[in-house]
Structure 1
Amino acid sequence: MQFHETELPGVGKKITFKNSEGIYTVMILHHSGKREFYYLEDDDDDEPLFSTTFTSEETKELAIKLLGSREETPEEDSYDQMSLVRKKALVNWVDIKQGSCMIERSVGSAQNLSENEVSIVAVFREDELLSKPADDVVIHEGDTLMVLGRKKAVEDFEKTCKE
């Protein structure tokens, strides 16, 4: 992918590039930190297909996600194997709401309810992420559990959480 940069006096910088699908992206970097994105079918188009604006902070978050996704992109030869795994496994997020039988239960105890057919791989609690939670971590109302397992087992676990 080739980038073309142009200074915009008094405004900032314009960066243009073309993706593999032939869509041009024009990014205007304002001195204020605001970023404008325009998507065009042709570099000379006056009307964009789509446009959006990001704050400086949103742009940084997007960049972090894009950089991370580069590491997570599967190689061509492993894609078929990953597809097979995805057909058999499911990752889902389960919200623990008021009245759930999971409130004040440990992660280990919750996993045992499904006879080890699901794994709780993370607990999201307010602004905190507990990845690979220990079996003695207690589940609270408002937590979101990241659950991994076969589709049927995950669906059954979700139903149990609502009881």
Structure 2
Amino acid sequence: MRLLAVAAILAATLIATPALAQSGPGMSTPPTRSIGELSQLSPTHRYWEICLTGAGEEAVRACGRVIGARVSRLHTATAHYFRSVALTSMGRDERALRDLRRAYFSYVDLLFEEEDNALARYGRGLSLIRLGREAEGEEDITRARETSEGRAGEFFEISS
């Protein structure tokens, strides 16, 4: 009986070792990533990529998956923003405006909690510009770039 227990423990250790090796420091967050990029090990990674760079219905669905996954509040707000962009390009303006407002208010909430969050400030700036408040939006984007040494736009890859 003890031999069987030892064999089971040994088998479990051998099976778990590769998985543990892939989850160590540096494995899920390579230093070359841009700010806010999801790890390639994340199940939501491919949806995030499509959400940021896709077009039409494909982008709308991918952004919806990111929103549903609730990876982080920043990712959710940004997915709402990019889904709004995709919906606008498809002529679905009413739904696009709802997503844009969700993005804007999510960024406002993030900034209420973390006033120095450059990514949220940049996203709020993009949202303000799309809402027709260009001066305020440009001010937010400028301030975000200054406080992040120009890196805030990396999170919004296609908009920077």
Q: What interval of TM-score do these two structures reach, taking the shorter chain for normalisation?
A: under 0.3
Q: TM-score, normalised by structure 2?
A: 0.26
Largest Rg, 1 or 2: 1
TM-score, normalized by length of structure 1? 0.26
- Going by fraction, where is helix more abundant, 1 or 2? 2
